[in-house]
Amino acid sequence: MPDKPAHWYVLAGLVVILDQLSKWVVLNHIQFGETIYVAPFWNWVLTFNPGAAFSFLADQPGWQRWFFTILALAVSAWMAVEIRRHPAQKLLALALALVMGGAIGNVIDRVRFGAVVDFIQWHAAGFYWPAFNIADSAITVGAILLVFAQLTGAPHQEKSR
């Protein structure tokens, strides 16, 4: 398992690459607003979210683009420092790397398009979950792991330097 910061940064980079590659495929194969049936609970769609999670602040005139970009970059920088400080705390470093990679993936969209590209839509019994993407998934999994690490008091496996 990785115990050097570089390994965790590579993981964050892989999240960015997978996120951007998936968005590239979607942008080249799905029209805006088009819905492609995948399974009884899952569609592919192409939407652009100028806000944050669940379209928070999406109705604002545009300042939120730069606010969320700066916020994500600042949080990612802090996470990079924390990974550097605690690379042997595997659960913590994994969680931070996933969140950092997802945040950077969405920052790329905000800079390029002014909004985040979303394309995964889940639904059940007439309820449609807001569309999301690979970056959002990494952020969600990373946040869950971060909470789990804090609640379980995951052991600190720091190596002396």
**Any idea which residues carry the catalytic annotation?**
118, 136
The DSSP annotation for 88-113 comes to T-HHHHHHHHHHHHHHHHHHHHHHHH
Alpha carbons 86 and 70: distance in angstroms, whole number: 24
Q: Which amino acid is at 116?
A: V
Question: What 3-state class would DSSP assign to 150?
Answer: helix
**Inter-residue contact 82 to 96 (CB < 8 Å):** yes
